[in-house]
Chains A and B, each alone.
Chain A
């Protein structure tokens, strides 16, 4: 009996010890050793070139305070100890409204302005950055590149063998092929992601890294849910928006979070700090959304900013711009637009029509005209709120000028452009606005009537 109780006690003790050690927060496993080949060094050089190229082409968002914020967060998530061989950590924000992030083999990590505008707090951003850091630490770009090159060699040999038995290509056909040239592996992984195994590895390690930095791991799931939502009729998906992959990720990341004990009782979320740090980039992203034909996302981001900052004249100006760009569309897609037929029609329209033609086609419908009226009304209200908060907001007057010009109200248009030029006499676009002002003044001038005496009768 005594022996049985002792055995039972020992067994209970063992169970308790095992349970406790399984839930202890632990640092992520160190990356495996890596041996560089010539192919890898080529990719490294290409990564360095890409960094320079993207900066030269104006793709990198320039805001030292924001870059410092993202860099500080990125540094917090890194494992202790020296950096891996041939990695120099650099964190950049990319001027791109699509919610996405990617890492290059050399340690450069890019987060799109669209992603920053979408996320709600620092913990969510930490999850994304930790994921990208894992790709670099575990040398995923090199592994994927090696795999891509092996497949390409096989494809080339097969193509050569196939062509020998059939018609020759010819330079005309090759030109068409060029247009659809396969993107190099480095670009493909940035858009579509790595293999499932490597992405899962990155996610699981990110949970541990986020936890060790004392951020809430639950926010990683919330970030995935945000990425699943969209205000647009999405016709293609980058990795961070691919729904089947997101569902998969939510599943195994939830399991990993469940098995991880938080470092402290109240891990950080840091919503206020994040909102303050990303207000300007979110506002600037609105213009990028508009340019990319994502007007609905622009409106959604602008509405959120205006709600968060009710005293910000600039945020209301951006809201005015967003509604003006929305034009003949509803703020959210209709159920018909989101149906399979709707998406098929949208794809057809996208390939067939330019943006202007697409807008004109919408304006030809009663629904489009009603949506345009509603958008213009909201745009005017937002601009007027901006001016009320700050009468010196030149850009808001400019926006009103464009709005009234579109509505064929030349007198009001001229008034706003005049105000704009008075407030910003050295504006870079003053020549163009002056031309539009002259045109509006001409249109709004009263017709000239003459009181000539009637000619005498013969």
Chain B
């Protein structure tokens, strides 16, 4: 009985404080040694899925997912620029994609290609340190990436619990805090090698306050060293 109340107490405390949690980062050996230098990056539009978890089941919240997708590039760009990295202009505004179907499809295809690789990276992220992962030719032939040293892929999986779910969780002693898990991968635009991979978890009201994601994301890129500008 005491243990159950302790669990419920921690859960309620976490909901109240909206703690930001776990993060991790993994660097390619050539990036770490300075053999490969990244000074300019192109951020691809993030893919985020926010799921409402409720008593009537789960469903993807498309509008909320889009809100987080819109917020993440600026958050990462700020973090990258603070490290001295140049972030190239966004070539993927909705208006630009609407006018250029080839660009829209090329973007969709390379994003899908990354997602196929991402499932392996997220299972064994430590293998980034062995230089295991590469996107190969797909990246090399992605024309908008030609001017950048690296492409940045951003993925987010968020959960928003309904009031009913939170109450049920508190009673059952199960943590039902809202949270989002953000993965960011930096991929060499010439070789396709995955140079860096970091992930972070942010708890709390990340949709209403996307700025909450900034510190965890920054912390997940602490070890990323940007090369000096020539």
Contacts and interface: CB of A to CB of B under 8 A. Distances in A.
A37 interface: no
B57 A182 contact: yes
Nearest to A164: B172
B79 interface: no
Interface in A37-83: 46, 49-50, 53, 56-59, 62
B4 A181 contact: no
A148 interface: yes
A152 B117 CA distance: 32
B33 to A, nearest CB: 22
A3 interface: no
Given A46-B59, A148-B57, A149-B57, A178 B190 contact: no
B205 interface: no
Interface residues of A, number: 49
Interface string B49-66: 001011111111011000
A151 B143 CA distance: 47
Interface in B159-178: 159, 165, 168-169, 171-177
A385 B70 CA distance: 47
Given A163-B174, A178-B51, A429-B141, A171 B179 contact: yes
B36 interface: no
Interface in A100-148: 148
A435 B190 contact: yes
Contact of B143 (A50, A175, A293, A428): A428
A356 B136 contact: yes
B223 interface: no
A353 B117 CA distance: 10
Contact of B58 (A49, A157, A182): A182
Range, interface on chain B: 35 or more
A310 to B, nearest CB: 28
A110 to B, nearest CB: 15
Label chain A's interface by main secondary structure. helix
Contact of B146 (A57, A58, A171, A431): A431
Contact of A184 (B59, B104, B137, B159): B59
Given A57-B108, A58-B107, A156-B165, A163 B117 contact: no
Given A57-B108, A164-B172, A432 B141 contact: yes
Given A164-B171, A178-B159, A432-B146, A53 B62 contact: yes
Contacts of B174: 160, 163, 168-169
A178 B175 CA distance: 13
A451 interface: no
Given A164-B172, A175-B157, A353-B120, 15 more contacts: A46-B59, A53-B62, A58-B97, A58-B105, A95-B108, A148-B57, A149-B57, A156-B56, A156-B165, A175-B201, A179-B157, A291-B138, A355-B117, A356-B134, A429-B146
14 contacts: A46-B59, A46-B62, A56-B97, A156-B57, A163-B173, A168-B173, A171-B14, A171-B203, A174-B179, A178-B181, A181-B51, A351-B123, A354-B120, A429-B146
Please provide the 7 A-B residue pairs with the shortest distance between their CB atoms, ordered closest to farther.
A152-B57, A58-B108, A428-B143, A163-B172, A58-B104, A431-B146, A164-B172
Interface of A: 46, 49-50, 53, 56-59, 62, 95, 148-149, 151-153, 155-157, 160-161, 163-164, 168-172, 174-175, 178-179, 181-182, 184-185, 291, 293, 351, 353-357, 402, 428-429, 431-432, 435
